[in-house]
């Protein structure tokens, strides 16, 4: 047996597999880039299961020609400047790995304009990068084609539920970012859209329906948590659907930490605990819960997919969430005894 160092191309292919596991993970990375670019509007278009073609277009700040060329390289990011920054990331991205990872397993077609008289198109196909001028208003469009063309096993392993996963990713961001207009299209048809009004109720109306949105209350709760002897303030806000409208699966609890959609089971459990006995047994609530706290107390760098975050004190955060939910529902219950306006 001989231990050998892998060549850089192999290292890149291994790393790409961790970030880009499926079409839905590509959509997640692209949507996060759009939000980091300050987009007020994000449109996602998908053909089929997303492997043939998927596209994310935004009206964010865009990229200059030089930045667009750099962005498709490895470990190039505009979001971190030194290793200290990683302790307090406030952007959704920070590793500079998404675009090159996508380019390693697909054709990547980026059109962008940072507000200049003309835009830039950067096309990465089979490892070749070509840059050309392009017409486009300020913002960025990223189109991904032939995803996993060089990974037949990965492509085959995708099931016909793939679009559901993509819809899930876009829905969750649309719900936790009601200030941004989202639109999801599949095979040329509108799936849902939200108005970007800033209202959680409007976002829920777009993603769910009138029944769900009509049976809900928004809330905004501020708490002080003590972590390592220091007092920190934390806010929990969002929307709670009344326990009369439930779902049988827990994934209708949409949680975000500092604007990042997260899958933390502890947080979701805290939301369910906040509903407590109001919830019929075996049922799960529909809720949007967005937690904001100092970035220094959150570590988003725990997994390549960034689906989970680690807290300096998870218990403190979870009890603040549980209390916020409980308090909001108790107050809402009083109001609910009258007519529910909608």
93 binds Mg ion (CB under 5 A): yes
The least CB distance from residue 235 to Mg ion, in Å, is: 25
The least CB distance from residue 282 to ligand ADP, in Å, is: 40
Distance CA 147, CA 24 (A): 11
Contact criterion met (CB below 8 Å) for 106 and 144: yes
The three-state secondary structure class of 57 is: strand
Q: Which residues bind ligand ADP (CB under 6 A)?
A: 29, 33-34, 37, 58, 60-63, 71, 76-79, 93-99, 140
290 binds Mg ion (CB under 5 A): no
Distance CA 299, CA 310 (A): 5
The three-state secondary structure class of 339 is: coil
The least CB distance from residue 191 to Mg ion, in Å, is: 23
What is the sign, positive or negative, of the torsion defined by CA atoms of 258, 276, 221, 87? negative
Q: Which does 99 bind (CB under 5 to 8 A by kind): Mg ion, ligand ADP, none?
A: ligand ADP
33 binds Mg ion (CB under 5 A): yes
CB closer to Mg ion out of 78 and 197: 78
The least CB distance from residue 93 to Mg ion, in Å, is: 3
98 binds Mg ion (CB under 5 A): yes
CB closer to ligand ADP out of 71 and 328: 71
Distance CA 303, CA 306 (A): 5
CB closer to Mg ion out of 96 and 243: 96
The least CB distance from residue 113 to ligand ADP, in Å, is: 10
Q: How many CA atoms lie within 13 A of 247 on its CB side?
A: 12
CB closer to ligand ADP out of 104 and 253: 104
Q: Which does 63 bind (CB under 5 to 8 A by kind): Mg ion, ligand ADP, none?
A: ligand ADP
Contacts 24+ apart (CB under 8 A), 94-97: 94/300, 94/301, 96/71, 97/15, 97/19, 97/304
Backbone angles phi, psi at 220, to 5 degrees: -155, 115
Using CB under 5 A as the criterion, which residues of the chain lie in contact with Mg ion when the complex forms?
Answer: 33, 93, 98
């Amino acid at each position: 047996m001989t231990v050998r160092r892998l060549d850089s191309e192999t290292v890149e292919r291994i790393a790409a597999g961790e970030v880009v596991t499926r079409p839905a993970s590509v959509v997640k990375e692209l949507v996060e880039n759009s939000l980091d670019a300050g987009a007020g509007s994000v449109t996602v278009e998908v053909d089929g299961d997303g492997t043939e073609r998927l596209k994310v277009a935004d009206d964010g700040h865009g990229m200059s020609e030089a930045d667009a060329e750099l962005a498709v390289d490895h470990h190039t990011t505009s979001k971190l400047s030194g290793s200290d920054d990683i302790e307090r990331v406030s952007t959704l991205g920070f590793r500079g790995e998404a675009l090159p990872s996508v380019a390693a397993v697909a054709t990547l077609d980026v059109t962008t304009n940072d507000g200049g008289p003309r835009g830039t198109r950067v096309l990465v196909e089979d490892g070749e990068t070509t840059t050309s001028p392009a017409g486009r208003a300020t913002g960025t469009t990223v189109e991904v084609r032939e995803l996993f063309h060089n990974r037949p096993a990965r492509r085959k392993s995708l099931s016909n539920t793939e679009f559901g996963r993509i819809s899930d990713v876009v829905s969750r961001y649309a719900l936790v970012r009601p200030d941004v207009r989202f639109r999801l299209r599949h095979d040329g048809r509108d799936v849902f859209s939200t108005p970007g009004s800033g209202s959680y109720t409007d976002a829920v109306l777009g993603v769910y329906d009138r029944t769900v949105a009509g049976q809900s209350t928004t809330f905004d709760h501020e708490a002080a948590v003590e972590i390592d002897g220091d007092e920190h303030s934390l806010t929990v806000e969002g929307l709670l659907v009344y326990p009369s409208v439930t779902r049988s699966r827990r994934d209708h609890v949409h949680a975000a930490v500092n604007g990042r959609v997260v899958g933390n089971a502890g947080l979701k459990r805290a939301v369910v605990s906040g509903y407590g006995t109001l919830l019929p047994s075996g049922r799960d609530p529909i809720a949007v819960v967005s937690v904001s706290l100092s970035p220094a107390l959150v570590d988003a760098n725990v997994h390549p997919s960034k689906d989970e975050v680690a807290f300096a004190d998870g218990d403190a955060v979870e009890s603040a969430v549980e209390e916020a939910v409980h308090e909001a529902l108790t107050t809402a219950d009083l109001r609910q005894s009258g007519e529910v306006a909608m």
